[in-house]
């Protein structure tokens, strides 16, 4: 363990074998697992749990209060951060709110670039990438392997599906389905994230099936329920197609409209 003399660590904080840099602040109720690195001037408010090997660069703030005017300060809320995440300079993640799930959860191996933000009651999966100044509002769900481009924003209660990619500057007011590309204000869908699928090990057969499902769902102009039924019937043995159809069927805010891409 290495704690700089200028750092302030609350006596109730539970620390593993960690490194805490100059002028960092570790608050009451914080739990830092082995291998956590807290950079200079970073602040971790409690109750917050940070998993093994997570690195906070300079001026990161984790576990501060929800930015919610209705938040009841008497209700305890938490932030749970998994293993091997990276938070770059000035990135932030807030605890849950009293009016929501009361917990913000971040999975493993995510990379949060400078100035990115995770709001209250969000759920971030594993292996996601938030580029510089990407921000998600309260109650948002980001599924595994999703990529959010620089300066993009995701509206409250929206979802971004697995291996989806949101382009830089996009404003997502509705759900972005898995495996798709979203861009614009308001964001629309412009095809499949083929590169992301291939990097994740998707076979050519899976990609071909998803392309056909994309055509039925977003290009043919069919009623949504009809398109979902046809896609499911055409590829009953392709889990990725089933995942795409299920995601759309479960949408509460609605799904971003298809653009011109195929």
pLDDT tens for 63-104 read 999 999 999 999 999 999 999 999 999 999 999 999 889 999
Does residue 100 have an active-site annotation?
no
Q: What is the topology classification, in CATH, of domain 2-139? A: UDP N-Acetylglucosamine Acyltransferase; domain 1 (2.160.10)
What pLDDT was estimated at residue 262? 42
Q: Which of 39, 51, 138, 161 is catalytic?
A: 138
User: In this predicted structure, what is the pLDDT of residue 190?
Assistant: 96
pLDDT of 260 > 80? The answer is: no
Domain range list for the chain: 2-139, 197-249
Catalytic choice (68, 121, 144, 175) = 121
Query: Is 121 assigned a catalytic role?
Result: yes
CATH of domain 197-249: 1.20.1180
Tell me, yes or no, if 94 is annotated catalytic: no
Q: Which DSSP state fits 218?
A: I
- Whether residue 163 is predicted with pLDDT greater than 90 in this model: the reply is yes
Q: What is the mean pLDDT of the chain?
A: 97
Average pLDDT for residues 144-161, to the nearest whole number? 98
pLDDT of 261 > 70? The answer is no
CA 37-150-106 angle, 5° bins? 45
Environment class of 127 (CB within 10 Å of its CB; exposed 0-12, middle 13-18, buried 19+) = middle
- Which residue is catalytic, options 41, 45, 71, 120? 120
Q: 188: which DSSP letter?
A: E
What the block records as the tokens of 242 is 């089933």
The contacts of residue 144 (CB under 8 Å, 6+ apart) are 107, 125, 126, 127, 128, 162, 163
> Can you tell me the mean pLDDT for 19-48?
98
Q: Is 260 exposed, middle or buried (0-12, 13-18, 19+ CB in 10 A)?
A: exposed
**Confidence category of residue 259, pLDDT binned at 50, 70, 90:** confident
Q: Are 179 and 242 in contact (CB under 8 A)?
A: no
């Amino acid at each position: 363990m290495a704690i700089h003399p200028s750092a302030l660590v609350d006596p109730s904080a539970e620390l593993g074998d960690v490194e805490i840099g100059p002028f960092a602040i570790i608050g009451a109720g914080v739990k830092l697992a082995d291998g956590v690195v807290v950079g200079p001037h970073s602040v971790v408010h409690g109750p917050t749990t940070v998993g093994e090997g997570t690195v906070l660069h300079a001026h990161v703030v984790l576990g501060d209060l929800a930015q919610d005017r209705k938040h009841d300060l008497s209700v305890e809320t938490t932030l749970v951060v998994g293993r091997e995440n990276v938070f770059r300079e000035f990135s932030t993640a807030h605890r849950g709110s009293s009016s929501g799930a009361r917990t913000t959860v971040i999975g493993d191996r995510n990379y949060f670039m400078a100035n990115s933000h995770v709001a209250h009651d969000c759920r971030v999966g594993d292996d996601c990438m938030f580029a510089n100044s990407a921000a998600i509002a309260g109650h948002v769900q980001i599924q595994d392997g999703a990529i959010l481009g620089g300066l993009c924003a995701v509206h409250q209660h929206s979802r971004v599906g697995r291996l989806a990619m949101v382009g830089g500057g996009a404003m997502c007011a509705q759900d972005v389905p898995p495996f798709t590309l979203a861009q614009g204000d308001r964001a629309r869908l412009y095809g499949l994230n083929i590169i992301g699928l291939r990097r994740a090990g998707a076979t050519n057969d899976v990609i071909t099936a998803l392309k056909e499902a994309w055509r039925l769902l977003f290009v043919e102009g069919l009623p949504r329920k009809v398109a979902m039924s046809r896609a499911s019937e055409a590829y009953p043995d392709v889990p990725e197609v089933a995942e795409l159809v299920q995601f759309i069927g479960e949408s509460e805010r609605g799904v971003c409209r298809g653009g011109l891409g195929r």
